[in-house]
Structure 1
Amino acid sequence: MGEREDEADFVVQQVRMLRRGDGGEEVMALQRLLQQAGHRLVIDGDYGPATERAVRAFQRRVGLVADGIAGPKTLQALRESPPDERLLQQADLEWAAAELDVPVAAVMAVNEVESRGSGFFPNDRPAILFERHIMYRRLKHHGLDPAPHRAQHPDLVNPSAGGYAGGVREYDRLTRAQRIHHDSALESASWGLFQIMGFHWQHLGYDSASHYVECMHRRERDHLDAFVRFIGKDRRLHDSLRDQDWARFARYYNGPAYARNRYDEKMARAFARHSHALGDGGMLA
């Protein structure tokens, strides 16, 4: 995060996620897959407690994040396709919780609400969103005058946010911006599962913007590592996560528009659900 606009959320790829409270044919299809995987379930189309428990159990068995939500990763694994080794695992979230000294359920809540579900686009590149207003600032940071580039490429260099293409098309904007200035372009995109801005690379301990981007191309575990560094470097975020002060956490992580999108309420509900599933106040059962 950091200088990322909430207004840009509409261009982030959205994926169908089945969860507690859902119903219908899609849930019935999920239940059949879970039955085939060895879980005893009534095929009733109701995503209730039993279905959620079965999803969590399956996710734990195959090494995925055990959040009880059936998204593309879980559905792919249920269809007998081994999980991609680049995908985030429950053990990774447990590692992050230990690093930050917070409940596992707290990290799971943030991952559920803030991670967008997948750190990679279908073309296997890390998920990104290019921010033209950050490009404007980064050019100044590197001693370059943004004015002529703004005149020629207002969709890439602009003091105001906007110009989004969305999804994999953001890479077209990034490539064009790199022709203006390579490092400024990398620093002006948010990257990976948690969409942390590239300009944070030095603050987070990476060797360069290119090194940060190289890490984002590896695995979602590397995306989580960037998130852990980001939280660990910000006392306000770290304290808020440790105390489960979701309104304060959302305010500093998402910006002043957090309440409009109810990020704090979503994380509070997710934390309560994961705490109940894990037991012991959200630590490992």
Structure 2
Amino acid sequence: MFSEAMKELITTASILWKVDPDSLFAVIEVESSGKPLVKVQERSEPAITFNKHHFYRRLSGAKLETAIREGLALPHDEPNINPVTQSARWRMLARAIEIDRKAAYEATFWGMGRILGAHWAWLGFGSVDALVREARVGPQGQLSLMMRFIEKADLIGTLRMQDWERFALSYRGPSDDHSEYRKQLAQAYRRQTSRRSGQAQQGSQPECASAANKELPLACFVEAEAADEEVPQISSRCETTHGKGVSTALQRARTWIDQLRGS
């Protein structure tokens, strides 16, 4: 489900925000199955969900009439159904953009954490375009968006406690499927912890034993953050402990940290 690069990136975020990595894995599994990027006309793009209810609320006059006529805008009491394939969803978004770019972006859920574009100002972006650019950077940008939302919604502590009831209510808001969403999160978390427990019993190395590549232990991340050292200093110390070849990996790790924090 998760690529090695995704596992390493999510584990890095778990250290920065001091949460159980299995909690993050669980949320991302339920939201996007760990697949942040899709191929759209030979381009890598974020996975998206277009919300016709949100688009409806952001339009008026001739634009709203056009969107309703083309099945892109619906009142809240009608079901919001997206095409199965991401290519079809992106084609739907492209048509919505022709009607109203800002409203279309705001009505879209972006990336691995399914962050709604309409939250751009609340999350500290200067425009919805800036939020979309962050999502289109790649997995790092999408995970940064997700963690920014979790922080802003005061859900870090909730994740640490695995309080899936409160997390489900706050992350997606009250809805008819709230109870099912809570169950999905709890089940995904149990799957993640069981997998890691199974690895430990078999004596294999879990994904969280390394990051950036197999030569860089996660301890280097923790030490780097605590000491606030420059990369050359950390590289020198890590090479003494873990052998040569960690410098490039550590530089990439620092880049990940900056991207995850939105630096």
The TM-score with structure 1 as length reference comes to 0.59
Shift of 1:152: 2.8
CA distance in 2, matches of 1:277, 1:106: 17
Are positions 1:243 and 2:161 aligned together? yes
Equivalent of 1:122, from 35, 39, 61?
A: 39
Structure 1 partner of 2:18: 101
Displacement after TM superposition at 1:183 (Å): 0.6
Residue number in structure 1 paired with 2:112 = 193
1:139 pairs, out of 53, 59, 67, with 59
**Any stretches of 5+ residues in structure 2 without a counterpart?**
201-205, 210-263
CA distance in 2, matches of 1:207, 1:147: 26
How many Å separate the matches in 1 of 2:152 and 2:138?
22
Give, in angstroms, the shift of residue 220 of structure 1: 0.6
In the alignment, is the contact (CA less than 8 A) between 2:67 and 2:96 conserved in 1?
A: no
8 A Cα contact 1:258 1:264, kept in partner: no
Query: Would you tell me which structure has more helix in proportion to its own residues?
Result: 2
- Separation in structure 1 between the aligned mates of residue 68 and residue 167 of structure 2, nearest angstrom: 38
User: Does the 8 Å contact 2:51/2:107 carry over to 1?
Assistant: yes
Cα distance, 1:163 vs structure 2: 4.3
Query: Of 162, 166, 172, which residue of structure 1 is paired with 2:80?
Result: 162
Q: How far apart, in 2, do the equivalents of 1:181 and 1:209 lie? A: 13
Match runs of 1:1-285 below 5 Å: 73=3, 88-90=6-8, 92-123=9-40, 124-139=44-59, 147-153=64-70, 155-160=71-76, 161-167=79-85, 168-235=87-154, 237-254=155-172, 255-256=174-175, 257-260=177-180, 262-273=183-194, 276=197
Q: Shift in Å at residue 126 of structure 1?
A: 1.4
Residue identity opposite 1:157 in structure 2 = A
**8 Å Cα contact 1:251/1:258 also seen in 2:** yes
One-letter amino acid of the counterpart of residue 239, structure 1: G
- Identity, in percent, stands at 28
What code does the residue aligned with 2:72 have? L
The superposition leaves residues 129-161 of structure 1 with CA deviations (integer Å, 9 ceiling, x where unpaired) of: 111111012236xxx6764235433x1122134
Asked if the contact 1:136/1:146 (under 8 Å) is kept, the reply is no
**Matched residue of 2:46: which SS?**
coil
What is the aligned partner in structure 2 of residue 34 from structure 1? Answer: none
Distance apart, 1:173 and its partner CA: 1.1
Mark the CA change 1:193 to 1:151 in structure 2 (over 3 Å): closer, same or farther: closer
SS of structure 1 residue aligned to 2:49:
strand
Displaced runs of 4 or more, over 4 A: 144-147
Task: For 1:99 and 1:145, locate their aligned partners in 2 and report how far apart those are by CA, in whole Å.
Answer: 47
The gaps in structure 1 that reach 5 residues or longer are: 1-16, 18-64, 66-72, 75-86
Rate the CA distance shift 1:138–1:239 in 2: closer, same or farther, 3 A. Answer: farther
Mean alpha-carbon deviation: is it higher for 113-122 or for 268-277? 268-277
Partners of 2:198 and 2:122 in 1: CA distance: 35
Q: Distance in 2 between matches of 1:231 and 1:274?
A: 25
Deviation at 1:89, TM superposition (A): 4.3
